[in-house]
Amino acid sequence: MATATHADEIRAQIPHQKSLIGFYRPDNHKGLFDWLTTVDHKKIGVLYGAFALFFFVLGGIEALMIRTQLLFGNDPAAPDRWQFVTAQTYNQLFTMHGTTMIFLAVMPLSAAFFNFVMPLQIGARDVAFPRLNAFSLWTFVAGAFVLNVSWLFQFALYAGWMDPAVADGVDHLKRAMNDIAPGGSWVGYPPISSKEYSGIGTDFWIMGLQLLGVASIAASLNFIVTIINMRSPGMKMMRLPVFTWMTLVTSFLIVLSFPAITIALVELMFDRHFGTGFFRVELGGQPILWQHLFWIFGHPEVYILILPGLGLISEILPTFAKKPLFGYPIIVFSGAVIGFLGFAVWSHHMFTTDLGKIATAAFSLLTMAIAVPTGVKIFNWIGTLWHGRIRFTTAMIFACGFVWNFMCGGLSGIMHSAAPADHQQHESYFVIAHFHYVLIGGAVLALIAGIYYYFPKVFGKMLNEKLGRRVVAPLIIGGANLTFFPMHFLGLNGMLRRTHTYLKEYDIEKWNQICTVGAFLLAFGVLFFVLDMILSVVKKGWAETAPSDPWDARTIEWSTPTPIPVYNYATLPVVKGVDAFWISKYGRPDQKIEAAPEHGDHGIHMPSQSWWPLLCGFGFFLMGTCFALSSAKNFVMFGHNLNQFVLVGSAVGLGLAVLGIILWALEGPGGYHLHIHQTADHGKKSPKDSAATAAH
């Protein structure tokens, strides 16, 4: 972030302090060390966003490889049949594409917004537990790398650096046993994910997902406490911006749904490592139990992906329609209802497993019921636009694209909720079309809209509007529709998902080629978008400098100066209503945001930075990677048997993580005080007058 001058000035004044365990607190570093030890919610948000975009691009490349493989059908008679990737690699590609996009792209990108925007929106100076927030970030990074480092080992295997006999499988399944990258799809159903049918890729997947679960739960607990407990004066619950409300609902969903997959993964891990029988038919285990446990998590998970998007849209539409959000309380309420109902519909992913008439009917009805609050939201957004003075900025185009595309995805969702129809659609490209409409057309468009909207606040630069309106938006929205709309037809005609090829004689090649073209258009859109972002941040003079309130926005995060000082608000704002910044700008004189009175001259308490969350993350990464590798029958690299090494490595990793937590507990919270001398205007500070003192 370009907070250089003021931030440096503050940093120079922070006293050098020793923590209770005798180390210097890393408060005074610049550059890399500052970012590695940061506890500032804004920097953590930026880091989440950067990692998420990296994995978004990675997952996108995997998707392009999938689409390239499906460019031509398979003619068994022809000797030179099209094979861009092998069937095995294809399995790994769609597995990692799904896992990456869900857990490493959309969720952390949402987390980036939660981190950056939510504390600003409630008028707080940071989250409730800054170091826990850093812990969540680094644990997420550890999980993400555990998942993706498997690709490197897969490459080592193909390059001949690694012994091919990594696992003892059934002979004709040897190839799948060499899945070092996960290949059991993002749902990981046993018996495909069992020891007999998949290689150590599944262990990477298990460990990665476990870590991501820890990270998500820790972050969500933090957000829940922050939103309930850290609001500035006057910020009642029913004055919270909708994005913050959706953060709260999403956090509850994460906290209550992730335990189910944690247990499922533990059971699967026990099946694979210790020979238990949870999902192993030989011992009487029921693979269908995995499906239940997975979808008890998995269905709330899809709302975890979309609710932040719904929140962002509810911020963007009113701003660019210059109207208050239509029906604020009902939008909040329907968000909460969607979240609650999300726990009661998991079995609609399993209609074809013969649940029995009553269960099927119940889950079918509950699924249809979810359309009601979702529809309410859609109508409220339309109501917001109605008679508004709409400005079609790039953010607004994406937001409107979201409403339309998300609705399309919702409509095919209602089709799935009818169990008989679902029997035809299940496991087909119709399902792919549906959830890409709600995930790309829904979550991703909303997040991109959010990026266009908040980028000026985060980096102090405007993204290129002309490029956004004329190139990025048409390419992304058009490309997505071109890719996924034909899939409805493909699916209803019977093309199966998770299959690396199709027969030429099925006459579906043309539609597949259109899908592939669409995918590449979409990719070009993302490419321009990402390049514009990178250049705006990195290259001086590429982008215009942003004013502090470029959109004439409504919520209080826009009342801060840009770049936002490390303490967010020099004085905490006293909030007078919904859309507090808007009524402060244009409302009655008594609706102006006031500065909350300070008690005494203690200054602003700032948290100290810490190395230990990073140490925990590193420990987790080591543990996850080594534990996954230790499940290989023979982990031999470059001729050395490393079985003992990785076993020790996983123990050391766990030890480091525990050590990190202990040191974190022992070092004490620390902190220092910043003294800022106010000028008259709210939020403005004169840096020359600022000073920092130690808290002790």
Q: How far is the CB of 354 from other proteins (least distance, A)?
A: 9
Token readout for 117 is: 């925007």
End-to-end Cα, the chain, rounded Å: 30
Q: How far is the CB of 363 from other proteins (least distance, A)?
A: 9
User: Pick from 448, 441, 436: which is nearest to 402 by CA?
Assistant: 441
Residues 405-444 that bind other proteins (CB under 8 A): none
Q: Does 303 bind other proteins (CB under 8 A)?
A: no
323 or 348: whose CB is closer to other proteins? Answer: 348
User: Pick from 320, 305, 585: which is nearest to 452 by CA?
Assistant: 320
Q: Does 671 bind other proteins (CB under 8 A)?
A: yes
266 or 330: whose CB is closer to other proteins? Answer: 266
Q: Which of 96, 256, 316, 396 binds other proteins (CB under 8 A)?
A: 256
Question: Which stretch in 153-161, 167-175, 182-190, 629-637 sits in contact with other proteins by CB under 8 A?
Answer: 167-175
Site string (584-603) toward other proteins, x via CB under 8 A: ------------xxxxx-xx
602 or 684: whose CB is closer to other proteins? Answer: 602
**Strands of 604-606's sheet, edge to edge?**
604-606, 672-675, 691-694
172 or 540: whose CB is closer to other proteins? Answer: 172
Q: Which of 91, 250, 347, 367 binds other proteins (CB under 8 A)?
A: 347
Q: How far is the CB of 275 from other proteins (least distance, A)?
A: 4
Cβ atoms of 140 and 208 closer than 8 Å:
no
Cα dihedral across residues 622, 624, 627, 632: positive or negative:
negative
Q: Which residues pair with 595 in a beta bridge?
A: 573
Residues 204-243 that bind other proteins (CB under 8 A): 217, 221-222, 224-225, 228-233, 235
Residues 349-368 that bind other proteins (CB under 8 A): 355-356, 359
Residue bearing tokens 């939103």: 227
Residues 563-582 that bind other proteins (CB under 8 A): 572
Cα dihedral across residues 311, 312, 318, 321: positive or negative:
negative
Q: How far is the CB of 460 from other proteins (least distance, A)?
A: 24
- DSSP structure string for 19-69: -TTSPBPTTS--HHHHHHH---HHHHHHHHHHHHHHHHHHHHHHHHHHHHH
Question: Which stretch in 30-38, 258-266, 322-330, 434-442 sits in contact with other proteins by CB under 8 A?
Answer: 258-266
Cβ atoms of 297 and 210 closer than 8 Å:
no
Token readout for 582 is: 């808007």
Q: Does 258 bind other proteins (CB under 8 A)?
A: yes
The helix (H) or strand (E) run that includes residue 308 is helix 287-321
Q: Does 132 bind other proteins (CB under 8 A)?
A: yes
The helix (H) or strand (E) run that includes residue 674 is strand 672-675
Q: Which of 23, 84, 270, 618 binds other proteins (CB under 8 A)?
A: 270
Q: How far is the CB of 20 from other proteins (least distance, A)?
A: 7
Q: How many CA atoms lie within 13 A of 180 on its CB side?
A: 25
444 or 604: whose CB is closer to other proteins? Answer: 604
Question: Could you give the angle at the alpha carbon of 298 between the alpha carbons of 193 and 205, nearest 5°?
Answer: 35
Cβ atoms of 672 and 14 closer than 8 Å:
yes
Pairing of strands 672-675, 691-694: antiparallel
Q: How far is the CB of 306 from other proteins (least distance, A)?
A: 19
100 or 115: whose CB is closer to other proteins? Answer: 115
Q: Which of 343, 489, 524, 618 binds other proteins (CB under 8 A)?
A: 343
277 or 550: whose CB is closer to other proteins? Answer: 277
Residues 62-81 that bind other proteins (CB under 8 A): none
User: Pick from 483, 480, 482, 465: which is nearest to 529 by CA?
Assistant: 465
Angstrom distance (rounded) from CA 79 to CA 96: 30
Token readout for 249 is: 């609902």
Residues 169-198 that bind other proteins (CB under 8 A): 169-173, 191, 194, 196-197
Q: Which of 179, 267, 301, 422 binds other proteins (CB under 8 A)?
A: 267
Q: Which of 605, 618, 634, 651 binds other proteins (CB under 8 A)?
A: 605
Residues 611-670 that bind other proteins (CB under 8 A): 662, 665, 668-670
Residues 1-30 that bind other proteins (CB under 8 A): 20
Q: How far is the CB of 340 from other proteins (least distance, A)?
A: 8
Q: How far is the CB of 44 from other proteins (least distance, A)?
A: 14
Q: How far is the CB of 486 from other proteins (least distance, A)?
A: 30
Cβ atoms of 434 and 412 closer than 8 Å:
yes
Angstrom distance (rounded) from CA 383 to CA 385: 5
Q: How far is the CB of 466 from other proteins (least distance, A)?
A: 40
Q: Does 696 bind other proteins (CB under 8 A)?
A: yes
Q: How far is the CB of 389 from other proteins (least distance, A)?
A: 35
8-state DSSP, 186: T
User: Pick from 668, 682, 449, 680: which is nearest to 565 by CA?
Assistant: 682
Question: Which stretch in 67-75, 255-263, 398-406, 412-420 sits in contact with other proteins by CB under 8 A?
Answer: 255-263
Cβ atoms of 692 and 640 closer than 8 Å:
no
Angstrom distance (rounded) from CA 658 to CA 650: 12
Q: How many CA atoms lie within 13 A of 311 on its CB side?
A: 30
Q: Does 266 bind other proteins (CB under 8 A)?
A: yes
Site string (90-129) toward other proteins, x via CB under 8 A: ---------------------------------xxxxxxx
68 or 276: whose CB is closer to other proteins? Answer: 276
Q: Does 293 bind other proteins (CB under 8 A)?
A: yes
Q: How far is the CB of 552 from other proteins (least distance, A)?
A: 27
Angstrom distance (rounded) from CA 12 to CA 614: 24
Token readout for 81 is: 């049949």
Distance of CA 609 to the CA centre of its chain: 24
Token readout for 219 is: 């972050």
Q: How far is the CB of 666 from other proteins (least distance, A)?
A: 8
119 or 456: whose CB is closer to other proteins? Answer: 119
Q: Does 673 bind other proteins (CB under 8 A)?
A: yes
Contacts of 207 (CB under 8 A, 6+ apart): 143, 146, 623, 624, 625, 627, 628
Residues 273-292 that bind other proteins (CB under 8 A): 274-278, 280-286, 289, 292
36 or 230: whose CB is closer to other proteins? Answer: 230
277 or 687: whose CB is closer to other proteins? Answer: 277
Cβ atoms of 134 and 615 closer than 8 Å:
no
